[in-house]
C-alpha cells in the first residue's frame, strides 16, 4: 500500500495477489447519464463488477459484444474476475467463442445462440443486432480470442497483449471531504499506462459504506477523470472509490482509502427589509460569512419622501453581533436576523410642522372672522 491507495496488480489473466479479498456487492443505480444507461450496458453492469456473489466463484473471463444479422460482429473489452460460469466448454450453438494458445491451437470452445427478436416492441419483429455477455472459464495460455459462426468463419478476434496496464489513483486518495456546494462536479482522476500501447477501458464505482455496496459511475470509459455530483449521496465518512482498467483482456484495479461527503449544515440569514446575504448550505465546521448590504435604507412611499429610514443595529438569533460583516463556524444549523431600527424623526418633524401650520391657519381664519365690522343700521 502506497500513497493511500490499494493497488491490485494482475497476471496475464488479471488474477489479484490478494485472491481472497472479498469482492464488493452490486449497488443498484438509476442514474441521469443517458449516454451509458442502455440495455447492453446495463447487462454488462449487472454481469460485471458489482455482483455480490463473485467472491465465492472461480476466476472467469467476461466476454461480451454483439453479432449482427449481416454477419459482422465485435467484442467489448474483456474483464477478468471471480464469477459464476455461464457457458461450459464444448457447448454448441449458432456462434462460438474460441480461446486459442500462441500456436493457434484451440484451448476452449463455447457455443451460444443469439436472438434477433424484439420482445418489447410489437411494431418491430426483429432487430439487426444481438448483444451477449458470458462469463467463461479462465485458463492459462490464452493468446487470442475469436468469435466464429456455425460455419467456422471468424467474425471478430482479439489478441492478448504480453503486458498488463499500470494504474494509479490521483484523486481522491482518502481523507478528503468532498462537496459540490461551490462547484458543479467533483472529479475522480487517475493515471494509467499500457506498455503494449493498447487502448485502455475504465470501470469506476463508488461505495458509501466502506466497500459493502458499490454504485457504478462509468463503464467502458476511455478518459482518465470523471465528474460526479455529490448531491446524489447522503453525507458519510466511509466512502471509497474503485477504478479498474482493462486493456481489452488484462485487468488492474485500485481503491482509495475512506473519504467523506458532507455533512452539511444550513445558515439562514433573515431580514424583514432585505439587504442581507450569506444564506445557504455549508460543510459542517466550515467558516461562513454573512453581512448586510447597507446600514441605512430609506423607507418606501410617503414616509421615505418625508425622510424616514431604517438603520442597522446588529444581529440577533443564533449569533449576536453589531458588526456588518460576520464570520461564524458552522458547527450546526444556524438562523440569524438582521435588526433594523425604524427612524421616524424627520416624518414626525414634517407632520408637526404641517399640523402647526394647519392650526395657525385655523386660528387666523377665526380671528379674521371675529374682527369683521357690523353692517350699518337701516335708514328710516
Please write the tens of the pLDDT for every residue from 338-366: 999 999 999 999 999 999 999 998 888 88
Amino acid 23: pLDDT: 30
| 8 Å CB contact between 308 and 347 | yes
Q: What is the DSSP string of 149-202?
A: ETT--EEEEEEPPSS--EEEEEE--SS-EE--SSSS-EEEEEEEE-TT----EE
pTM over cut 0.85: no
Amino acid 186: pLDDT: 86
β-bridge mates for residue 63, sequence order: 134
Cβ contacts of 165 within 8 Å, gap of 6 or more:
192, 193, 194, 195, 198, 200, 245, 246, 247, 250, 252
Amino acid 80: pLDDT: 84
| 8 Å CB contact between 161 and 178 | no
Extract the C-alpha cell encoding 172. 481522491
Element (H, E) at 67: strand 59-68
Distances (CA, A) of 153 to 87, 127, 178, 211: 21, 22, 52, 44
| 8 Å CB contact between 285 and 331 | yes
Three-state DSSP at 136 gives: strand
Amino acid 1: pLDDT: 31
Extract the C-alpha cell encoding 347. 416624518
Q: Which residues of the chain have pLDDT under 70?
A: 1-56, 119-125, 182-184, 371-375, 380
Amino acid 209: pLDDT: 93
Distances (CA, A) of 95 to 92, 132, 147: 8, 11, 7
Domains of the chain: 10-159 (2.60.40), 166-260 (2.60.40.10), 264-347 (no CATH)
Least Cα distance to 60 among 41, 34, 86 occurs for 86
Calpha distance 204→211 (Å, rounded): 13
- Report the DSSP pairing between strands 334-343 and 264-270: parallel
Amino acid at each position: 500500500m502506497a500513497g493511500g491507495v490499494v493497488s491490485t496488480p494482475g497476471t496475464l489473466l488479471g488474477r489479484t495477489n490478494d485472491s481472497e479479498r472479498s469482492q464488493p456487492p452490486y449497488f443498484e443505480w438509476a442514474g441521469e447519464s443517458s449516454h451509458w444507461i442502455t440495455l447492453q450496458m446495463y447487462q454488462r453492469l449487472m454481469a460485471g463488477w458489482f455482483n455480490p456473489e463473485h467472491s465465492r466463484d472461480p476466476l472467469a473471463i467476461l466476454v461480451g459484444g454483439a453479432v449482427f444479422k449481416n454477419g459482422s460482429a465485435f467484442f467489448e473489452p474483456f474483464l477478468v474476475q471471480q464469477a459464476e460460469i455461464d457457458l461450459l466448454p464444448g457447448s454448441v450453438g449458432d456462434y462460438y467463442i474460441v480461446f486459442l494458445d500462441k500456436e493457434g491451437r484451440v484451448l476452449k470452445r463455447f457455443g451460444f445462440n443469439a436472438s434477433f427478436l424484439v420482445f418489447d416492441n410489437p411494431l418491430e419483429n426483429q432487430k439487426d443486432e444481438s448483444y451477449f455477455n458470458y462469463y467463461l472459464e479462465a485458463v492459462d495460455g490464452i493468446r487470442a480470442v475469436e468469435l466464429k459462426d456455425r460455419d467456422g468463419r471468424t467474425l471478430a478476434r482479439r489478441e492478448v497483449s504480453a503486458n498488463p496496464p499500470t494504474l494509479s489513483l490521483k484523486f481522491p486518495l482518502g481523507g478528503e471531504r468532498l462537496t459540490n456546494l461551490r462547484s458543479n462536479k467533483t472529479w475522480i482522476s487517475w493515471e494509467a499506462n499500457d506498455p503494449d500501447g493498447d487502448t485502455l477501458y475504465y470501470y469506476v464505482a463508488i461505495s458509501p459504506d466502506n466497500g459493502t455496496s458499490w454504485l457504478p459511475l462509468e463503464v467502458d470509459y476511455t478518459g482518465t477523470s470523471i465528474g460526479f455530483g455529490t448531491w446524489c449521496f447522503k453525507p458519510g465518512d466511509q466512502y471509497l472509490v474503485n477504478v479498474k482498467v482493462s486493456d481489452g483482456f488484462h485487468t488492474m484495479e485500485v481503491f482509495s482509502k475512506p473519504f467523506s461527503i458532507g455533512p452539511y449544515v444550513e445558515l439562514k440569514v433573515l431580514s424583514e427589509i432585505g439587504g442581507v446575504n450569506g444564506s445557504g448550505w455549508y460543510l459542517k465546521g466550515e467558516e461562513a460569512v454573512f453581512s448586510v448590504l447597507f446600514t441605512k435604507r430609506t423607507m418606501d412611499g410617503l414616509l421615505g419622501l418625508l425622510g424616514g429610514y431604517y438603520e442597522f443595529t446588529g444581529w440577533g438569533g443564533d449569533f449576536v453581533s453589531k458588526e456588518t460583516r460576520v464570520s461564524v463556524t458552522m458547527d450546526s444549523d444556524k438562523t440569524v436576523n438582521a435588526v433594523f431600527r425604524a427612524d421616524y424623526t424627520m416624518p414626525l418633524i414634517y407632520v408637526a410642522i404641517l399640523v402647526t401650520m394647519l392650526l395657525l391657519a385655523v386660528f387666523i381664519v377665526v380671528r379674521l372672522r371675529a374682527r369683521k365690522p357690523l353692517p350699518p343700521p337701516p335708514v328710516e
